Amino acid sequence: MKVLAKCPKCGHVLELHIDSADKRKRCSNCRGIVKIPDLISMDKAVRIIETSDSHVIADTDGNLYA
């Protein structure tokens, strides 16, 4: 399974393997650090997105905003 992560520095979207969960990776565009959430946080975000009637945004700390 793949995980998409957006670089907070330049906005580049990284396509990573699920093994990258709960790790930090370097952005291939700007070399900035991208924190990949753990699997529990990703699962929580997916469940919220699936039941939400509006846009949901998750930040690099795992906080969710609607």
Domain boundaries, given as residue ranges, for the chain: 2-65
Q: What is the pLDDT along the chain (66 residues), one digit of tens a residue?
A: 788 888 989 999 999 888 888 999 999 999 999 998 888 887 877 777 677 776 666 666 667 665
Q: Work out the widest C-alpha separation in the chain, in whole angstroms.
A: 35
The pLDDT value recorded for residue 23 is 93
Six token digits for residue 34: 């991208």
| Phi-psi region at 48: left, alpha or beta (left = phi > 0; alpha = psi -120 to 50) | alpha
Say what the pTM is: 0.62
Question: What's the number of CA atoms in the CB half-sphere (13 Å) around residue 28?
Answer: 5
